[in-house]
Structure formats: structure tokens, C-alpha cells
A and B are shown apart, each in its own frame.
Chain A
Amino acid sequence: MATRARPLTAMHWTGAAFAALVALSVLGPLGAVMARADWPPALGPGDWAAIRFTLLQAALSAALSVTLAIPVARALARRRFAGRRLLVTLMGAPFLLPVIVAVLGLLAVFGRAGWLNDALAALGLGRIDVYGLQGVVLAHVFLNLPLAVRLILQGWQAIPAERVRLATSLGFTSVDMRRQFERPLLRAVLPGAALLIFLICTTSFAVALILGGGPASTTVELAIYQAFRFDFDLGRAALLGLIQVAICLGAGALAFGAIRRQEVGAGLDRPPLPWPGDTPIARLGDAAALIAAALFLLLPLVAVLLKGLPALPGLPPVVWEAALRSVLLALASTALAVGLALPIALLVARLRRPGLVEALAFLTIAVSSLVIGTGLFLLIRPFGNPVPLALPVTGLVNALVALPFLLRALVPAALQADATQGKLAEALGMTGAARLRHAILPRLARPLGFGAGLAAAFSMGDLGVIALFSTPGQGTLPLEMYRLMGSYRTDDAQGAAVLLMGLTLALFWVFDRGGRLDAATR
């Protein structure tokens, strides 16, 4: 841990300014909605139940996602096999899918008419019912397990090969490996990963309602939707938005308080070495974890592919135009998100108590996009018609929402770079841009590529706020997919879903791979 205060450079001040802007971009629209509301705002009768259910399902989903991710990430970290990289990329797909596509894929496997129930019936066994709290958690784990695996895997990859060699020469057993490496690593990585997934799940609406099976699964997000659309009660919507802010900051304080920074020391970026203390049981366990995770994550994707591929060649031109628009929008959002995230991550890495700054940035995923979108609409409107700005506003909001993912990827790496090569650079009198370029950025290339990939994929796949502003001829690919679904064209919608999945994965892969280009030795 940094024991002496070190001066903040221009880059850090930029980070501070960006963090303030990001917080303002959430709190400003929230305030705008509040300002338009009747006073005093009040919660409705069902809202407390919605808050309780939201917290319960999000906590369960986050806990289960990170717990299941530990053995999968460990297996990926210590095994080398043909197709490993492809598997890592493909397993990330559920996180990148629009939720309705993911839900339909999941139901093709776990639903009443799904493969699993067909298999159970063929074996003469009882059926499983996916609808209920178990279904909500199942879907959230399906969507977020990939993210947890990648974040934990990143922690493993940060351990220099030199230390593994040292462990081998000391004759470490697998128990020693856990105590010396895995436990500190998990204390550094798990709280942040769990927080991210918890917050994503608190804003869940369609997944929770569909798989929850009925109004008992009403979430805060649905209550906000109801307040806006059904009751036009802006005060209640804003109040629920404030509760989302409180949940975010409260969970952020808990999670960032629990983080213990990982001290792994510096290395020379040598290729990874086999782990010491390997046993046949460990090999068997890793194989089981990988096969189970691959089946769980990939089977629903296979279902989506099988349904959509036949319709892919015949998709109408408007879908392809929307696809191009979405790719361009995703690239712009990613550039913006990276530009915002890098200075903020460097600032967070430098602060002694960085939790608050990062938690502020996390507001972008914790607060309902319906509140933010409506607030932005109210803020823009006095100055002009917001409708022609639909695409830029969607790009901006997508960049803001992608920010927490980038930060979670970048901050641990930035901390380590600051503590190792950064100190070395300072000892050599290297400061400012030179220090950043030679000592820090090379250490960030891999997480930056991964984070940018997440940002691009997220911007590509998310419906975002465009649905609030939609006008003819401006549709993004997710919007056109929903339009196809809404006009009975299910086959074309499934084809569009496959196109969306393919493009999203390709974008993610390009960025993620780009981040590892210089790391050919790893």
C-alpha cells in the first residue's frame, strides 16, 4: 500500500474532473426529473416489497456468480489446452447478449419445453420448473458468470511468472498455492466483481419479471417503469432513482471496504509456468469445472444459433443498415468510455481511499436508464428538439454505462503498475507523459483491451435509451430486433439476434485481442 502521499499530476486532476462529470451526468438528470415532480414525492404501497425483492435476488445472483466463477477461473488460469482462448471468448458471450435473446436461449434449455425437461422426461424423471426466484438467479448467473470469470482470471494473470517459479522451487502444494496466491487474489478481486454484478442485477427488469413468473418478482426498475408510464408519478420515479443511488453507494462502501489490495510484486512479463502442486484430483476438478461451465454457458447460445441461422441470409436491408449504425455507435461509445475511464482509473489507483470515486462512477449502472434518459430529455428540451440527438445521446449513455466495467478491469492493473514499474520510473526521474507511456500504459494494455471490448459489446447489444427517442430511420440493431419481434416476425428477429451476437462477439474479440498483441509471449 502506498505509505506516503504522492503528488497528483495533470492526468489525475483530469480524472477527478471526469469522475465529477460522470456523477453529474447521473445526478443531473435525476434532479431534473425531481424538479418536474409534484411535491412531496411518496413511495407506493408495493415499492418496499419491490426494494426487498430487488436486494434479495441481486445479492443471491452476485454471490452465486462469483462463487461459481472461482473454480472456472482457477482452471482457466492453470491449464493450457487447444482452443482455450476461443473458449474464453465464447464463454463471455452471455454477458454480451441483449437480455431477451439470452432469456429465450436459456428457456430453450431450461424452460418447460426445453432440452433439459425433454431429457428428464425421456429418462422418466420429474420436470423442473424454472419460473420463480430460482429462475431469476439462474438467468442472472448465466448472464454474469462470464464477467466474474474474466475479472478473477485477470487477477491470476497479474501474478508474475517469477513468483510461480519461486513457489515451484519451494515445493508449494496446492494448499500452499491457495493460501499464498489465491486467497489474497480473491480478497483483491472478488468484492469489486461482486459489487459490479450486484448492481447490474439491481436494475434488472425483464429478466426478473419473466423468469420470476409474476408480480411477486417486481423489482425497483419495474416500479420505476410503472411510476413513469402507468401512473405518471415523476416524484415516485425520482425517489426510486434516489434509492438506487443509496443502494449503489451503500453496496460500494461495503465492497470497497472489503477489498484488500493484492501485493504480487513486479515481474518481467515472462511466459506463464506450470503450477506447482498439481495432482490428478486437481486436474479432474478443473476439467469438471470447465466442462460444466462451458455446457451451462454455451448450450443456450447454441439454441439461439440454431433458431436464427436459417433466417440470417434473408434479413431485410433495414436490419443490415441498423447493424452498421450500431457498430459505428459502439466504436464511438467505446472511444468515449476509454477516454473517460483511463484518467479516472489512474486517479483511483493513486488515492488512499479510492472507494468513493469508483462508487460514484458505478452510479451509471445502478440508476435506471429510464430515469437518466427521461432526465436528459428534460434537460435538453429547453434548448432544442432532443429527437435528432437520439443517436448521440444513446452513444453517450452507453459510454457512461460501460464505464464501471472498464474501471473494474483497469483499476487493479493500474494499482499494480503504480506500485511496481511506476515507482521504478520515479526512481529513475521519469515523470509525466514519459512515465505514463513507458511505465504505466504497457501494463494496462491487456485490461484496457478487455475493458474496451466489454464497452463495445455492451454498447452494441444494449437497447439503451434509443427506445425513448426513436424516430424512423435511426434504429440500432437491438431496436430493430425488438421491432421485428413486436410485429410477429419472430424468424427474422431470431436471425437479427444471431447477427447481433456475431457482431458483438467480433467487436469484443478485436479489442480483447488487440490488448494482448504485444503480449505474444503470454
Chain B
Amino acid sequence: MKHPIIAAGLSVIAGAASAQAPVLTVYTYDSFVSDWGPGPAVEAAFEAQCACDLQFVGAGDGAALLARLRLEGASTDADVVLGLDTNLTAAARETGLFAPHGIAPEGLTLPIAWDDAEFLPFDWGYFAFVHDVALADVPGDFEALAASDVSIVIQDPRSSTPGLGLLMWIEAAYGDRAGEIWEGLADNIVTVTPGWSEAYGLFLEGEADMVLSYTTSPAYHLIAEEDPSKTAAPFAEGHYMQVEVAGIVAGTDQPDLARQFLAFMLSPGFQEVIPTTNWMYPAALSPDALPEGFGTLIQPAQALLLSPEDAAARRDAAVATWQRALAR
């Protein structure tokens, strides 16, 4: 019977120790907090300067994160939510759970202007079809892809943020013609997966010629595996962006610390961790500071991005169009 008492004693001591430092609770998606994500390095760097205890709580992907926050409502323990993208921020804003960040961001290196009172970007990427360099006759736009017999794996927009990104890509590039494009792509699509991991896994197994991923994906293979065999196909329509953001929860009991974290998020201590853990472009880091290997990536001529409100308004109709075109 001794051990439970000792354990209880230890937890009281541990509780007392952490009671001295204020706790900042950050909700984020699961891959951010995993041992291979940015979480561990970010936590160490911020705790070195904040005299606080930074606690990450992981929840699925960006969509799961927002659902979790909505479930908890105003009584949430979160002080900061990190990892929504601009396809989700309109719905997030509508909950009324976020407070203005009050930060005038400096040194942002996004290819677009940023003006959002509630959300600040921490990283971004271009969606792209990744393929093996050996692939012949790589299509240069969606119409060429639809006309070709190149096979692709994509993600379901209802369960995956890249899947939704592809939907918005075609919306932004083709508008009313999106349905026609999807009908043309239907016979190129080997299958649709619930999430990014399954699609990328199928691609690596050789089930399809190309997979929907990011222009930065080949950098992983190049840097971590010294494998230069993967590249991304530049599309003439331009490439849709995914911008990942963070915001302060209105009901936070640590507003100053939360603001300090968001400012830290745009500083080198956070930004330098991003390229080789999240394999995305940092939102506020000079291109010169990117790791070697990022220089080899394709540079889209045009960045496409619907505003959060536009993306939210067009989402349901776009999913219905997608379902109709592929259900046959």
C-alpha cells in the first residue's frame, strides 16, 4: 500500500512545482506534437524564455482541432489554438471563441498580403502533385492531367485538409468550370483516401503516378533520405496555398502569455524549426535561412488562395460538385 501514497505525494510535489510557473495550454494537431513534429523543439525554446510551462494538447488534424474546440465551447482549457488553416478560420471566427491578437506582424514571408485581426500564420505551403522524376509526359495543368492517362491518388475533402485544399484549388482556378474539370479527372483518380498519410503511402507503394501533396514534399526525401527522385509538377493555373494559423482563445486566463507565444511564433526560435519538422515554408523567415535542399523546389508562378469567407461560402457546393462528378 506504500506505492500509491508515494505516488500521490510525488504528484503533489510536482503540482506545487508547476504551480509556481503559469501554464500556457496550446491545442494543436497531432502531428505537431509528435516526436517528429515541431512540438518538442518549440516547447523547449519557448520555455527557455517565458518562465512558464508550455503544454501542448494534440487533437487529430486541423478539422478535428476545431471540432474539439467547439465541443468544449467557452469553458475550454485552451489558451492558444495552433494549426487551423484558412479553409477553417471563417468557421472558427464564427464561434466567437477567438480574441484579436493585437500584433502587427513584421517580416512575414508569405507570397500574399496578410491582414487578419484574429489569426496569425506560422507556416504555409503550395499544394502540388508529387511524382517520380522518371515519370514521362508530366501534365502541366489540370486540363492536361484530365486528358492524360497519368494516375493520381487524392484525399477526401470531407475528412482531410489537403483534400479540401485540392477542391478549393480547382474552385479558385476554374470557378464554374470546376465540375467539368472533376469529371475529366475522374478516370485519372485511382482512389480517394481518408487522409494524407494513406494517399502518400499508396503513392510510395507505386499505386499511382502522382499524389496530391505539397511542393515541399520532395525536400523531405532529398534532405532526410538523400533521395532526389521525387519532384512536384508545376501547374500553369497557379498553385493553391495552405496557410496554417494560430489564434488566442477569448476566454484565456493567460492573455499576456498567449500574446507572447504568438509573437514568439513569428521569431526565428519557432520559425527555424518548421522546415525540417513540418516540411512546410515558415511564415516569417527569410528564404536565405531555409535549409539547403529547399532551393531545389519548384516555385509556382502564381499563388492562389480564396479568402476564408469565400472558401467557407463555396465549400458545401464544391463538395457536392465533387461527389457528383466522382460518384459515377
Contact = CB atoms under 8 A, between A and B. Distances in A.
A487 B34 contact: yes
B190 A229 contact: no
Contact of A374 (B37, B71, B198, B322): B71
B197 A471 contact: no
Interface stretch (A22-30, A341-349, A478-486): A478-486
B192 interface: yes
Interface stretch (B200-208, B236-244, B297-305): B200-208
Interface string B307-328: 0000000000000101100111
A94 interface: no
A317 to B, nearest CB: 9
A211 B207 CA distance: 12
B279 interface: yes
B71 A488 contact: no
Interface string B197-227: 1101110111110000000010011001000
B322 A490 contact: no
B158 A213 contact: no
Interface in B44-76: 56-60, 63-64, 66-67, 70-72
Contacts of B36: 483-484, 487, 489
Interface string A459-471: 0000000011111
A56 to B, nearest CB: 15
Of listed B72, B190, B196, residue having the most chain A CB within 10 A: B190
A488 B39 CA distance: 16
B143 interface: no
Contacts of B205: 104, 107-108, 111, 113
A472 B33 contact: yes
B190 A226 contact: no
A222 B200 CA distance: 20
B249 interface: no
A472 B39 contact: yes
A381 B74 CA distance: 13
B71 to A, nearest CB: 7
Contacts of B277: 487
B201 A113 contact: no
B204 A490 contact: yes
Contacts of A107: 202, 205, 207
B207 A232 contact: no
Contacts of A271: none
A211 B204 contact: no
Contacts of B34: 472, 475, 480, 483, 486-487
A46 B322 CA distance: 13
Nearest to A484: B36
Interface in B91-108: 91
B63 A229 contact: yes
Interface string B263-292: 000000000000001010000000000000
Contact of A472 (B58, B59, B156): B58
A485 B197 contact: yes
B25 to A, nearest CB: 10
Of listed B64, B189, B322, residue having the most chain A CB within 10 A: B64
A225 interface: yes
A112 interface: yes
Give the size category of A's interface with B.
Answer: 35 or more
A211 B191 contact: yes
A209 B58 contact: no
B254 interface: no
A483 B60 contact: no
Contact of B328 (A206, A216, A387, A490): A216
Interface string A252-295: 00000000000000000000000000000000000000000000
Interface string A360-390: 0000000000000010011001000101000
B29 to A, nearest CB: 10
A482 B279 CA distance: 17
A104 B201 contact: yes
B159 interface: yes
A226 B63 CA distance: 10
A224 B117 CA distance: 33
A271 B205 CA distance: 48
Interface in A234-255: none
A230 interface: yes
Given A232-B67, A318-B35, A486-B31, A213 B191 contact: yes
A215 interface: yes
A205 interface: yes
Interface in B104-153: 151
A486 B326 CA distance: 26
B194 A209 contact: yes
Interface of B: 30-31, 33-37, 39-40, 56-60, 63-64, 66-67, 70-72, 77, 91, 151, 156, 158-159, 186, 189-198, 200-202, 204-208, 217, 220-221, 224, 277, 279, 320, 322-323, 326-328
Given A112-B207, A212-B191, A228-B67, 6 more contacts: A45-B320, A216-B328, A229-B158, A229-B159, A232-B91, A472-B56
- The 6 tightest CB contacts between A and B, nearest first, are A113-B206, A487-B36, A483-B34, A485-B197, A226-B158, A229-B63
Interface of A: 36, 45-46, 100, 103-104, 107-108, 111-113, 131, 205-206, 209-216, 222, 225-226, 228-230, 232, 316, 318, 374, 377-378, 381, 385, 387, 467-472, 475, 480, 482-490, 493
